[in-house]
Amino acid sequence: MALLSIRDLNVNFQSMDGTVEAVKSISLDIEPGKCLGVVGESGSGKSQTFMAAMGLLAPNARTSGSVMLEGQEILGRSQNELNQIRGRDMSMIFQDPLTALTPHMKIGIQMEEMLNLHSNIRGAEAKKLCLDWMNRVHIPEARARLGQYPHELSGGMRQRVMIAMAMLNQPKLLIADEPTTALDVTVQAEILDLMHTLKTEENTAIALITHDMGVVARMCDDVQVMRHGQFVEGGTTDQIFSNPQEAYTQELLSAMPRIDGDDVRPDISPDAGTVLDVTDVEVTFDVKKPGGLIPRTLPLRAVRGVSFDLAEGETLGIVGESGCGKSTLARAVLQLIDPTQGSVAWLGRDLVGLSKSSLKPHRKDLQIVFQDPLASLDPRMTISASIEEPLKEFQPGLTRTQRLEVVADMMERVGLSANMINRYPHELSGGQNQRVGIARAMINKPRLIICDEAVSALDVSIQAQILTLLKDLQAEFGMSMLFISHDLSVVRSISNRIMVLYLGRVVEMASRDQIFDDPKHPYTMSLISAVPVPDPKVEASRQRIRLPGELPSPMDPGAMWRFLPSRKPEEGSVEMPGMTQVAPGHVVQEHDSIEDIHRLTPQA
Amino acid sequence: MLNFIIRRIAVAIPTLIILLIASFWLMQTAPGGPFTSERPLPAQVLANIEAKYGLDQPVYKQLWDYVVGILTQFDFGPSYKYKDRSVNDIIAQGFPVTLTYGVISFLVAIIVGGALGISAAIRQNSWLDYFAVGVTIGAQVLPNFVMAPILILVFTLWLGWLPGGGWNGGQWQHIIMPVIALSTSYMASIARLMRSSMLEVLRSNFIRTARAKGLPERTIIWRHALKPSLLPVVSYLGPAFVGMVTGSFIIDAIFGTGGIGYFYVNAAFNRDYAVMMGLTILLGSMTILFNMVVDILYAWIDPKIRL
């Protein structure tokens, strides 16, 4: 008998505008010790299905059908009865670990709450059990962490705490709703490993809700695909990946860019002139240091001496984990933040230190597309007004009719239909809004576009469309691009060259194929090996490259020497590892071998 | 924490000095003086009076003497209007009255407003919620100069339960109506703030986590939701507390309670410089003090804030 068995589940939300059918007649089974992947894009009803199973739906939701946990019906139970089951027989972890823990309560107290609720374990014994689980989810200095507040831990650490807390009463079912979507790839890989261990060692059944086919290939035994609240296709992971029956499943699989794909991105011709030349750019922020009679600030070196150039029509991908200075670098290039040091030469002219008014003519050529498409558009302007605005600024000679014509052409070009001109951003989907953002950036035919996580918030199929659009626009208009993303597969699919950043410093820069086929730096290798590939057979044979320790704080002066422990200088030295050229166009920061790094790094 | 308090006091001193100079200068530049009246005094008499109070001295000298007086003897000088009474006497008489009904009003506003706001949020869209929203809107639109006479009409003239005014050493019968009149609008604001912030917190992710853990609703509200939802309320409490304990001219005028609010407004009309300045400094210091208390409360609620 299945542990969790859902039959003909319907979830409706009653709203002012009528009834919204979020889940339509979904059935699924999860066996003990198995992982079921529930895959779908936003609005597919995958989360609501399991919120219904936990009894956590919003008050305006109506359900029908059946949800059986170990043969007992869950639907229709009172909150008091559900409270007996939640946290004891089944637990749930969520997407955003940064907001999932109560901010004003210490971690140990939040964990002990679980034991007080569902078991007789109290006092020292409870503390010991919490500590035990903190160690099992590989939290360093676990004892001290129990006395800390959530904000003192990184996102990855907080997700581990969530898992440890969810597992305290050894539930039979763990529901994980996009547990790694908000995390960096290396952290994602750690969390997935951890869940895999729980499955095999504790025989915990796992329901993994995700949009990422790579994660499914790595983790799941069975898969169920959902779309618009409906069942599309289900089966074992091997069946779904090797022989998908439904068109939508095939589309999902092919839309996902792969780091082992065979697509080609031709190199830029060596004759192409350099448009952007960035030399030794540094950006330092002052961070307030708490305590002390007189408040002091410490310098946080977000970008420490980055140099690169960019040819006409070329795309340079910038990858790195959160806090590595990707976005700061982008803003420094555009002079949206003043670099503390270094030069940014645009067409041979240094932009650093130019006044606002002398920068302005260059703005026409230097454009940026941001991550959150809705938040980066003015909610009070129609989308055509947003797209039109740069025209008024830079081509004041155009009449209103001419401008509208240009806007209409550009909207058509980016795939927005003409009847949308008077729509407002909130009336459009995320993908459509990102098309508006791109149209706005492209309207004056700029020569450089910076895409700062421009597709990260979008569903995979929309993401694929936007990437294709960007490539097409580049082929047509010949602009150069800086493409910033934490997602290596996406960066690979669009870039000619790739730069890997680590704590504000370039650790490796090479052509796209050199980076992926022949990475030299241990950090690059660990990043690539952590990216899941949407193919269970490939996933089973891949080797993870692990680095010792956690990503250090950028304030830590020794952090730069994490990959070169053999030559770590004395405290207080400002020296940094140098760069070496290993092949034409392939530069790498000096580093030790992975074995030496493991050997020379003191274990926490 | 100690460092924070020391830093705050270090900033408070220049703030108070600027406040002092600015209010002194404003009062000096306004035409007229405490001894100008419709029938002008004979020039000789006026000169004698001005010499007595030191008003014939240059302005900077007056200011200097005034500051020295405060710092060395804690003496805020004599009142120009109430003969034979110093500003210290007036504060000593009026401030305890104001403080008494102010603190009680503050507590009533917090307890009633907080309870109303929390229960409305927990039972959103129930009759209790509609009732609470209705009451708070009503309480906010009813100004206290309308409310106070209505209270007197009902409880003194019709029912005869409570005395219509006076203080009588702070007997409880004399405190009830001033407290109701003063606290109602603050209570309504607190209830509305509490309701909306509690609703927002109840929709947040960590409350979803708490529900997924199987915690009973009571524990969720009191242990997980209450503290974070207090943040916007606390930032309102600082100015509200100062507003209540520094007195209200309307309360003092209608109920004849004799608090400093009455003296303050009259001092302005009478050009009673010394009383005006003394009370300004008192209120300024209290404002600075309670903003500091609010910041400390913030750090207690939110562990991310380090002082």
Reported as a single tens digit per residue, the pLDDT across B187-215 is 999 999 999 999 999 999 999 999 999 99
User: What is the identity of the amino acid at B6?
Assistant: I
Contact state of A86 with B210 under an 8 Å Cβ cutoff: no
pLDDT tens track for A44-93? 999 999 999 999 998 889 999 999 999 999 998 999 999 999 999 999 99
Identify whether the C-beta of residue A278 lies closer than 8 Å to the C-beta of residue A335. no
CATH of the domain at A519: 3.40.50.300
Residue A212 and residue A328 share a domain: no
Q: Are residues A541 and A530 in contact, defined by beta-carbon separation less than 8 angstroms? A: no
Rg (CA), chain A: 26
Is residue A430 within 8 A of residue A462, CB to CB? The reply is: yes
Residue (of A172, A177, A215, A195) closest to A48 by Cα position: A177
How many A×B Cβ pairs under 8 Å?
78
B209/A54 touch (CB, cutoff 8 Å), yes or no: no
| A94 contact B CB<8A | yes
H helical segments located in A211-309: 213-219, 237-242, 247-255
pLDDT in tens, A447-481: 999 999 888 878 888 888 889 999 999 999 999 99
Domain that holds residue A346: 274-365+446-600
- Do A570 and A461 lie in one domain? The reply is yes
Sign for the pseudo-dihedral over CA of A232, A459, A48, A534: positive
Record the tokens describing residue A399, joined without a space.
């009449």
Q: What single-letter DSSP state applies at residue A86?
A: B
The DSSP secondary-structure symbol of A325 reads S
Write down the pLDDT at residue A290: 66
Residue A333 contacts residue A283 (beta carbons within 8 Å): no
Given a cut of 90, is residue A541 above it in pLDDT? no
A82 and B214 within 8 Å at the Cβ level: the answer is yes
Which of A100, A118, A291 lies nearest to residue B209, judging by beta carbons? Answer: A100
Per-window interface: A 55-74 vs B, CB < 8 A: 56
Residue A316's nearest CA partner among A184, A511, A471, A475 is A511
Strand locations in A362-516 (E): 366-369, 448-452, 480-484, 497-502, 505-511
DSSP labels, chain B: -HHHHHHHHHHHHHHHHHHHHHHHHHHHHSS--TT--SSPPPHHHHHHHHHHHTTTS-HHHHHHHHHHHHHHH----B-SSSTT-BHHHHHHHHHHHHHHHHHHHHHHHHHHHHHHHHHHHHTTTSHHHHHHHHHHHHHHHS-HHHHHHHHIIIIIIIS--S-SS--GGG-HHHHHHHHHHHHHHHHHHHHHHHHHHHHHHHTSHHHHHHHHTT--HHHIIIIIIHHHHTHHHHHHHHHHHHHHHT--HHHHHHH----HHHHHHHHHHHT-HHHHHHHHHHHHHHHHHHHHHHHHHHHHH-TT---
Alpha helix stretches (DSSP H) within A243-319: 247-255
Residue of B210, B216, B307 with shortest CB distance to A102: B210
Question: B54-101, pLDDT tens digit by residue?
Answer: 777 887 888 888 888 887 888 888 887 777 788 888 888 888 888 889
Beta partners for A148? Answer: none
Helix (H, G, I), strand (E, B) or coil at A579: strand
CA-based nearest residue to A68, from A114, A15, A4: A4
Report residue A20: phi and psi, to 5°. Answer: -105, 120
Instruction: Give me the pLDDT at residue A291, please.
Output: 65
Class at the top of the CATH hierarchy for domain B95-260:
mainly alpha
Contacts of A86 in chain B (CB under 8 A): 211-214
Residue (of A484, A507, A486) closest to A560 by Cα position: A507
The reply to whether A299 and A242 lie within a common domain is: no
Contact (CB<8Å) B303/A104:
yes
Q: Cβ contact (<8 Å) for B303 and A101?
A: no
The one-letter amino acid at A536: P
Q: Check whether A8 has a pLDDT greater than 70.
A: yes
| Judgement on whether residues A452 and A550 belong to the same structural domain of the protein | yes
Residue A522 pLDDT greater than 60, yes or no: yes
Six-digit token string for A441: 């950036």
H or E element that contains A581: strand A579-583
Nearest to A550 by CA among A219, A90, A228, A160: A160
Q: A114 CA to chain B: closest CA distance, Å?
A: 7
Q: DSSP string of A151-190?
A: GGS-HHHHHHHHHHHHHTT--SEEEEESTTTTS-HHHHHH
Residue B178 in contact with residue B101, Cβ under 8 Å? yes
| Closest chain A residue by Cα to residue B206 | A100
Would you list the domain boundaries of chain B?
95-260
Q: What is the pLDDT of residue B265?
A: 84
A106 DSSP assignment:
-
Alpha-carbon distance values, A288 to A50, A298, A322, B1, B206 (Å): 43, 6, 21, 16, 28
Tokens representing B93 are 């008489």
Displacement of CA A514 from its chain's centroid (Å):
24
Neighbours of B126 (CB within 10 A): 12
Predicted confidence (pLDDT) at residue A497 exceeds the cutoff of 90: yes
- Give the bridge partners for A289, in sequence order: A296
- Residue partners of A222: CB distance under 8 A and separation at least 6: A34, A35, A36, A37, A234, A235, A236, A237
Whether B205 and chain A come into contact, CB under 8 Å, resolves to yes
State how many domains chain A has.
2
Rounded-to-integer distance, Cα A124 and Cα A114, Å = 15
Claim to verify: residue A236 and residue A329 sit in the same structural domain: no
- What does the longest C-alpha to C-alpha distance in chain A come to? 78
Identify whether A563 is part of a domain.
yes
Contact with chain B for residue A104, Cβ under 8 A: yes
* Cα–Cα–Cα angle for A18, A23, A24, rounded to 5 degrees: 95
What is the C-alpha separation between A574 and A570, in angstroms, rounded? Answer: 9
Burial (CB < 10 A; 0-12, 13-18, 19+), residue B38, is exposed
Interface test with A, best of B122, B209, B307 (most A CBs within 10 A): B209
Q: Strand order in A90-93's β-sheet? A: A90-93, A173-177, A205-210, A35-39, A222-227, A230-236
CA distance A546 to A530: 9
Residue B17, C-beta contacts closer than 8 angstroms, at least 6 positions apart: none
Instruction: Tell whether A351 is covered by a domain.
Output: yes
Under a CB-based contact definition with an 8 Å cutoff, are residues A486 and A291 in contact?
no
Q: Name the β-bridge partners of A231.
A: A226
Other Cβ atoms less than 10 A from the Cβ of A381: the count is 14
Q: Say yes or no: A507 and A592 in one domain.
A: yes
Whether residue A428 lies inside any domain: the answer is no
* A107-118 vs A123-136: helix crossing angle, rounded to 10: 120
Residues of chain B contacting residue A149, judged by C-beta atoms under 8 Å apart: 303-304
Interface check A292 vs B, CB under 8 A: yes
Chain B partners of A151 at a C-beta cutoff of 8 Å? 303-304
A48 touches chain B (CB under 8 A): no
Identify whether the C-beta of residue A189 lies closer than 8 Å to the C-beta of residue A530: yes
Question: Are A539 and A532 within 8 A, CB to CB?
Answer: yes
- List chain A residues with CB under 8 Å of B123: none
- List the Cα angle B158/B162/B168 in 5-degree steps: 145
pLDDT in tens, A398-415: 999 999 999 999 999 888
Question: Do A483 and A473 form a contact (C-beta atoms < 8 A)?
Answer: no
- Chain centre to alpha carbon of residue A373: 15
Q: Quick check: A604 pLDDT over 60? A: no
Indicate whether A96 belongs to any domain: yes
- B234-282 pLDDT, tens digit each: 989 888 888 888 767 888 888 888 888 888 888 888 878 788 888 888 8
- Verify whether the Cβ–Cβ distance A101 to B206 is below 8 Å: yes
Q: For residue B301, which residues of chain A lie inside 8 Å, CB to CB?
A: 104
Name the residue type at position B25. W
**Residues of chain A with pLDDT > 90: what percent?**
60
Report if residue A517 sits inside a domain.
yes
**Contact status, residue B277 vs residue B79, Cβ threshold 8 Å:** no
- Nearest Cα residue in chain A from B298: A104
- pLDDT at residue number B132: 92
Q: Taking CB atoms and an 8 Å cutoff, what residues of chain B touch A56?
A: 208, 211-212
Query: Which among A101, A113, A291 has the least Cβ separation from residue B3?
Result: A291
State the pLDDT confidence band at B17, using cuts at 50, 70 and 90.
confident
CA distance A69 to A434: 42
Q: Does B234 touch chain A (CB under 8 A)?
A: no
Distance (Å, whole) CA B117 – CA B104: 19
The encoded tokens of residue A316 equal 């340079």
Regarding whether A279 and A250 lie in a shared domain, the answer is no
Q: Say if B221 is an interface residue toward chain A (CB within 8 Å).
A: no
Looking at A146-160, A561-575, B83-97, which range is the least confident one?
Answer: A561-575
Please indicate whether, in this complex, the C-beta atoms of B213 and A87 are within 8 angstroms of each other: yes
Q: Does B212 touch chain A (CB under 8 A)?
A: yes
Confidence label for A377 from pLDDT (cuts 50, 70 and 90)? very high
Instruction: Judge whether A190 lies within some domain.
Output: yes
Residues above pLDDT 90, as percent of chain B: 28
- B211 touching chain A per CB within 8 A: yes
Q: Do A86 and B214 touch (CB under 8 A)?
A: yes
- Closest CB to B209: pick one of A79, A84, A101: A101
Q: Provide ipTM, 2 decimals.
A: 0.84
| Pair A482, A570 in one domain | yes
pLDDT at position A371 is 84
Phi, psi (deg, nearest 5) at residue B191: -60, -45
Q: Using pLDDT thresholds of 50, 70 and 90, give the confidence band for residue A490.
A: very high
Whether the per-residue pLDDT at B146 is higher than 80: the answer is: yes
Average pLDDT, chain A: 90
Q: What is the pLDDT of residue A603?
A: 64
What CA–CA distance (Å, rounded) separates A131 from A299?
A: 35
